[in-house]
Amino acid sequence: MMKKIPLEEKVKLTSGQGNWHFFESEHVEGRRINVADGPHGVRVYAKPVKDGDFLSKRYLEPATLFPCASAMGSTWNRRLIENVGRTIGKECRHHQVDVLLAPGMNLKRSPLGGRNFEYYSEDPFLTSEMGQAFVRGVQSENVGACIKHYGLNEQETMRRFVDVRIDERTMHEMYLYPFYHVIKKENPWMVMSSYNKLNGDYASESAYLLQDVLRERWGYRGVVVSDWGAVQDKVKSIKNGMNIEMPGPSHFEDQVKDALQEGTLTEEALDKSLEPLFALHEKVKPIKRLKTIDLDEHHAFARQVASEAIVLLENDGILPVKDKEQKIGIIGKFAKEPRINGGGSSTVQPYKQEVPLIEFSKIFENHAYADGYHENDTSETLIDEAVDVARESDTVFFFTGTTETIETEGKDRDHMMLPQGHLEVFDAIRKANRNIVVILSNGSALDLRELRAHSRAMLETWFLGGAAANAVLDIITGKTSPSGRLQETFPLKLKNTPHYATFPPLISVDYHKDLIMNGYRHYDTHDYEVLYPFGYGLSYADIAYKTIDWKINEPDAQAFVRIEVVLENKSDIDAYETVQVYVTTRIETLVKPLKELRAFEKVLVAAKKTEKVRITLPLEAFETYDETRHDFVVYNGDYEISVARHSREIHGTKTVSITKQDTYRPPITLDYPVKFLELYLPQWHEYIEKNYRPLRWHETEEPIWRILDRYKRHKAISEEDMQAIISKLKEDFNG
């Protein structure tokens, strides 16, 4: 087919033919390829959009709005998130959307990241596991998933221009890790490149990202699409691995035609760039529209997801509320106009939108309500009304969180605080009534010290989507025990965060130290106090870690360590427990954080029952990225495995030794001190001392080449023989 298509038409096919479709041509048999946002529900248009207002809900078809990615990550439930993907996939099929532009696989590098609500976690392993589940679910419905934003897109400030400077190991071990594992295990149909630069090159034009890593090392054969408007140099993008520029039509068509005419771009290179698009087109052509879907059923499922996402941060026993006859105060405009999503490309028109005030009033008939604030601000009148409600109530539910002006795509937050107006209301009502339950709606960590000190319970509900009320009620009334666990650390304050005063940068950002300077890696390694640790969350049940049994079998790479944990629920309520497994690497001179999440399992433990949890750690759980081999390897050495409720509550440890894999040594060149030979290549250190003389202490600090040069002169070694020695030495440098 490609040979029959005119060259000019091929140029057009490298770009979209509209905002949400591409590969539409009279020269191509079959329908066009349709794409749609987003990560929390599909966004499709019921009518043409005027003036480019693509985020206005008045143009959209109703769809199920699921909790945001932060909330999904807080479920720690792979099966649940796979079903989220499957459900959204069904709605895509109904609207004949071929590829869903989701999920986001970037990490939460700072709580200030404006798009954190679209990302699963600060941790690469948890992000990877949630992403794999989501992609698996979407693609089970014959709809493609498009993982994004590849790569290193952890800030919104100057996101189209900022240059991320990073070393190879940190890049692969942290920020590319989720992309790698989703591609390796689930093969998403598309990958979306990011806006930012990477070590000087735009991600959409980076030969390293798109060719060296994605195509050659990872063997990816799917489509690479640009983020919307990310292409700066179309010819360079095509040459370096970009398949489709979005949106379209492109402003760069003449640039491509000129390059073809001048010979700086060949038709063969253009054809190669189009091959993945033809393959994707063949895949989607026979897929038929799903005629009917049950949105009521989907909404009910969204409520289940929301319920598992809610994290109980504090509770002195005030929850659950059993007395439904008591006088309830509901304060905060978020109860009447809930904050359900983070906006931007995740915008969805909810099929159903629950309103907390309405749903709470059905359960608690004896209630009173006050706005308290409008958006970020309050007034004396609003505060007085709120105080009156608080004073007259037995229990107060205070709804608060970040507003659209504080947290949204396209900008990073300036601070971790709640809106000043909200805090003023809280300060007033807590003096009138100490029985306050705080209900938070936000996408990332907040400074909650003031609320923690003066409330009896706090629920982190994130952006809960369409089911933003009944899931909260299920927790509050005790119908469900809270089971959400934090997928990011809540620091005490902004000044304690690892990138304070450097985030967000405008022109260039340094990621080099992020192996131990991101999230819990930073706080736990340095033993810094935090407000709430990674993996934390309270329950109404008392679940004990009764026994932990370890089985170690090094020859079995798929099950190097098997762990069996017996959990005992001592309470009268069924409840989930999430068993977390962390690995600590005990290899001298290898830079690693104190611990890294390497496995987890969420399990329901029935009231007054025990449940056995089985967790398998493959050898992959002990891997490190080796810059010499440009790949992940497992090093010989000791590793401590911890079974935990969260990163700071450890219930059992076991040290294992790996002996049949690779010996660690850092990258070495002739410019490194001789001491490196003594540490990592002792046979060469011994060779020099045996054939030359024992080295003095200060000589071990000198570069290897200088000692070899001295050796050559003193022993009258020929240039040819010395080059042979150096050649063998370099071979050993490279493993």
- Measured distance CA(171)–CA(177) in Å, rounded: 8
Amino acid identity of 319? L
Q: Which of 98, 163, 227, 412 is catalytic?
A: 227
Residue 446 token pair: 């907040």
Which residue in 461, 623, 652, 465 sits closest to 544, CA to CA? 652
Residue 81 token pair: 């998130």
CB 433 within 8 A of CB 391: yes
Q: At what angle do helices 380-391 and 420-432 cross, to 10 degrees?
A: 30
Residues whose CB falls within 8 Å of the CB of residue 486, separated by 6 or more in sequence, listed in order: 74, 311, 460, 532, 533, 534, 535, 536, 537, 646
- Measured distance CA(103)–CA(136) in Å, rounded: 11
Which residue in 363, 495, 376, 473 sits closest to 425, CA to CA? 376
Dihedral, CA atoms, 309, 573, 480, 426, nearest 10 degrees? Answer: -80
CB 170 within 8 A of CB 514: yes
Which residue in 454, 449, 562 sits closest to 496, CA to CA? 449
Which residue in 243, 262, 469 sits closest to 352, CA to CA? 469
CB 332 within 8 A of CB 374: no
CB 118 within 8 A of CB 69: yes
- Measured distance CA(632)–CA(180) in Å, rounded: 11
- Measured distance CA(84)–CA(134) in Å, rounded: 7
* 110 φψ region: left (φ > 0), alpha (ψ -120 to 50), beta (else): beta
Residue 185 φ then ψ, to 5° = -105, -25
585 has which bridge partners?
A: 639
Q: Which residues of 614-643 are buried (b: 16+ CB within 10 A; e: fewer)?
A: ebbbbbebbbbbbeeeeeebbbebebbbbb
CB 21 within 8 A of CB 13: no
- Measured distance CA(441)–CA(120) in Å, rounded: 16
- Measured distance CA(682)–CA(679) in Å, rounded: 6
In eight-state DSSP terms, residue 204 is G
* 680 φψ region: left (φ > 0), alpha (ψ -120 to 50), beta (else): alpha
Is residue 167 flagged as an active site residue? no
Amino acid identity of 570? K
- Measured distance CA(32)–CA(669) in Å, rounded: 53
Q: At what angle do helices 704-714 and 682-691 cross, to 10 degrees?
A: 30
Amino acid identity of 407? E
CB 138 within 8 A of CB 85: yes
- Measured distance CA(369)–CA(333) in Å, rounded: 9
**Active site (catalytic) residues:** 227
